[in-house]
């Protein structure tokens, strides 16, 4: 039950239309909470119905029918409540690890190529994160907000680094398990 809270956070950072939100979910926010535009529009409707957000009166004669939303006090209160409330970590699911385990039984045929591909994807993601870090968190900016946001980004960077390294090790000593048909 976190998509509404992701949206509230995004809207507090900057009031936006559905499409703007979609774009922001494709970059920064979506790195740890992804969402499609369909999900976003559905959720915007709910949040508005609940009185957590409202459509901004169209200030400028913007292109199209862009409808921007802003967070109402009730929405901010709900977000604060949710942020402070304890939450258990969700059980994780990792298809790649599962496939390795399956490969131990049915053979490693075809795996290596996909491991390489995944490593490449992680490398790209890492490069993107590092780009953002360089751009948005220059040394010396130590406002509380920036520190928190940087902390989150660093988690992303270190996780990608971990996966690249782990995949490299895996590829180095990937044993050949014969298919057993």
Partner DNA sequence: AGGTTTTTTGCAACTAGTTGCATAAACCGT
Partner DNA sequence: ACGGTTTATGCAACTAGTTGCAAAAAACCT
Distances (CA, A) of 82 to 9, 29, 30, 34: 11, 17, 19, 19
Q: Which residues pair with 16 in a beta bridge?
A: 69
Least distance (Å) from a second copy to the CB of residue 149? Answer: 6
Residue 171 burial (CB count, 10 A):
13
**Out of 57, 60, 63, 73, which residue is the one contacting DNA (CB under 7 A)?**
63
Under the binding rule (CB under 8 A), the answer on residue 113 touching a second copy is: yes
Q: Does 3 bind DNA (CB under 7 A)?
A: yes
The reply to whether 176 sits near a second copy by the rule CB under 8 A is yes
Stretch that binds DNA, among 65-73, 78-86, 152-160, 164-172 (CB under 7 A): 65-73
x-or-dash string of contact with DNA, 16-35, rule CB under 7 A? -xxxx-x-----------xx
- First vs last Cα of the chain: how many Å apart? 43
Q: Which of 13, 48, 128, 133 binds a second copy (CB under 8 A)?
A: 13
* Widest pairwise Cα distance in the chain: 67
Query: Among residues 2, 45, 47, which one has the least CA distance to residue 25?
Result: 2
Judge residue 83's burial from the number of C-beta atoms within 10 Å of its C-beta, 0-12 exposed, 13-18 middle, 19 or more buried: exposed
Q: Is 38 in the site for DNA (CB under 7 A)?
A: yes
Binding-site member from 23, 96, 128, 137 for a second copy (CB under 8 A): 96
Q: Write down the least CB distance from residue 173 to a second copy, Å.
A: 7
Q: How far is the CB of 64 from a second copy (least distance, A)?
A: 27
Q: Is 24 in contact with 10 (CB distance < 8 Å)?
A: yes
> Which positions from 37 through 56 interact with a second copy, judged by CB under 8 A?
none
Coil, strand or helix: which one is 16?
A: strand
Contact 96, 118 (CB under 8 A): yes
Q: Which residues bind DNA (CB under 7 A)?
A: 1-3, 17-20, 22, 34-39, 41-42, 44-45, 61-67, 90-91, 93
């Amino acid at each position: 039950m976190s998509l509404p809270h992701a949206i509230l956070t995004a809207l507090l950072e900057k009031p936006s239309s559905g499409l703007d939100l979609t774009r922001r979910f494709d970059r920064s926010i979506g790195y740890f909470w992804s969402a499609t535009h369909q999900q976003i529009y559905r959720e915007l409707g709910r949040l508005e119905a609940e009185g957590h957000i409202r459509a901004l009166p169209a200030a400028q004669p913007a292109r199209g029918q862009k409808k921007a939303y802003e967070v109402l006090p009730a929405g901010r209160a709900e977000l604060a409540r949710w942020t402070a409330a304890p939450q258990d970590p969700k059980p994780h699911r990792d298809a790649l690890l599962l496939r390795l385990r399956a490969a131990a039984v049915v053979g490693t045929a075809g795996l290596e190529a996909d491991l390489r591909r995944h490593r490449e994807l992680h490398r790209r993601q890492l490069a993107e994160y590092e780009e953002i870090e360089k751009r948005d968190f220059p040394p010396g900016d130590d406002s509380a907000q920036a520190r928190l946001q940087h902390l989150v980004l660093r988690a992303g960077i270190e996780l990608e680094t971990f996966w690249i390294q782990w995949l490299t090790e895996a590829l180095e000593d990937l044993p050949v398990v014969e298919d057993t048909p």
